[in-house]
Chains A and B, each alone.
Chain A
Amino acid sequence: MRWINRRPGRPLAVALALAPFALAALAYVAGSEARLAANPADKLLPAPSTLWDAAMAALTEADRRSGEILFWNDTFASLTRLALGVGIAAALALTLGLAAGLLPLAGAGLSPFVAAVSMAPPLALLPILFIVFGLGEVSKVALIVIGTAPFMIRDMAGRVAETPVEQIVKAETLGASSLVIALRVALPQAMPRLIQAVRLSLGPAWLFLIAAEAIAATEGLGYRIFLVRRYLAMDVILVYVAWITILAALLDLALRRLSARAFPWAEPAR
Chain B
Amino acid sequence: MSFVSVRNVFQSYGDRPILERVSVEVEEGCFVSIVGASGCGKSTFLRLLLAQETPSRGEVSIAGQPPAREPGRDRGVVFQKYSVFPHLTIRDNILAAEELSARWGRLWGRARRAARERADAALARVGLAHVADQYPAALSGGMQQRLAIAQALQARPRILLLDEPFGALDPGTRLSMHDFLTELRAETPMTVFMVTHDLSEGFKLADRVLVFDKTRWDPDAPERWGATITYDFDARHGGIPFQSARAPHAA
Interface of A with B (CB < 8 Å)?
164, 166-167, 169-177, 179-181, 183-185, 188-189, 263-266, 269
Task: Given A175-B73, A176-B101, check contact A170 B135 (CB 8 Å).
Answer: no
B100 interfacial contact with A, CB 8 Å:
yes
List B contacts of A263 (CB < 8 A): 87
The interface residues of chain B lying within 8 Å CB-to-CB of A188 are 87
B105 near A166 (CB under 8 angstroms)? Answer: no
Main secondary structure of the interface of A (DSSP, over half): helix
Q: List 23 A-B contacts (CB under 8 A).
A: A164-B81, A167-B83, A167-B85, A169-B50, A169-B52, A170-B82, A170-B151, A170-B152, A173-B155, A174-B100, A175-B101, A175-B155, A176-B101, A179-B104, A180-B102, A180-B104, A181-B100, A184-B105, A184-B106, A263-B87, A266-B86, A266-B87, A269-B137
Q: Which residues of B contact A (CB under 8 A)?
A: 50, 52, 70-73, 75-77, 79, 81-87, 96-97, 99-106, 135-137, 151-152, 155, 157
B78 closest partner in A (C-beta): A170
Given B72, B77, B105, B152, which contacts A180 in the complex, CB threshold below 8 Å? Answer: B105
B residues less than 8 Å from A170 (CB atoms): 77, 79, 82-85, 151-152
A184 to B87, CA, bound (A): 9
B68 to chain A, nearest CB (A): 10
In the complex, what distance in Å separates the CA atom of A171 from the CA atom of B104? Answer: 13
Kindly identify which residue among A164, A171, A173, A185 contacts B157, using a CB–CB cutoff of 8 Å. Answer: A173
Contacts of A179 in B (CB 8 A): 104-105
A-B complex: 8 closest residue pairs judged by Cβ atoms: A175-B101, A180-B105, A164-B82, A176-B100, A166-B82, A172-B71, A184-B105, A175-B73
Q: Is A174 within 8 A of B97, CB to CB?
A: yes
Instruction: Report the separation of the CA atoms of residues A263 and B106 in the bound assembly, to the nearest whole angstrom.
Output: 19
Kindly list chain A residues whose C-beta atoms are within 8 Å of the C-beta of B73.
173-175
Task: With CB as the reference atom, state the residue of chain A lying closest to B101.
Answer: A175
- Report Cα–Cα, A175/B151, bound state, in Å: 12
* CB of B73 to closest CB in A, whole Å: 4
The CA of A180 and the CA of B52, in the complex, are separated in Å by 18
A169-B50, A169-B52, A264-B135 given as contacts; is B155 within 8 A of A174 (CB)?
yes
Interface of B is mostly: loop
What 7 new A-B contacts, CB under 8 Å, besides A174-B73, A265-B137? A169-B77, A173-B152, A180-B100, A180-B101, A184-B96, A185-B85, A269-B137
Residues on B with C-beta less than 8 A from A175 are 72-73, 100-101, 155
Residues of chain A contacted by B135 (CB below 8 angstroms): 264-265
Contacting residues, chain B, for A183 (C-beta < 8 A): 104-105
Closest A residue by C-beta to B81: A166
Nearest-Cβ distance from residue A193 to partner chain B, whole angstroms: 12
Whether B83 pairs with A173 at a CB distance below 8 angstroms is: no
Q: Is the CB of A189 within 8 A of B102?
A: no
- Closest-CB distance, B195 to chain A (whole angstroms): 14
Selected contact of B79 from candidates A166, A189, A265, CB within 8 Å? A166
> A42 CA to B83 CA in the complex, in Å?
68
Residue contact B87 to A189, C-beta cutoff 8 Å? yes
Contacts of B52 on A, CB cut-off 8 Å?
169
Beta-carbon contact of A173 and B105 below 8 Å = no
Complex-state Cα separation, A181 to B83, whole angstroms: 14
Give the most central of A169, A188, A266: most B CB within 10 Å. Answer: A169
Q: Which residues of A contact B137 (CB under 8 A)?
A: 265, 269
The CB with the most chain A CB atoms within 10 A, among B76, B81, B100, B152, is that of: B100
What residues of chain A lie closer than 8 Å to B155, measured between beta carbons? Answer: 173-175
Cα–Cα, bound, A181→B100 (Å): 8
Complexed CA–CA distance, A266 and B136 (Å): 11
Contacts of B102 in A (CB 8 A): 180
Give Cα A173 to B87, complex, Å.
18
Complex Cα spacing A132 to B105, Å? 42
Q: Which of B82, B87, B96 contacts A174 (CB 8 A)?
A: B96
CB contacts (< 8 Å) of A265 on chain B: these are 86-87, 135-137
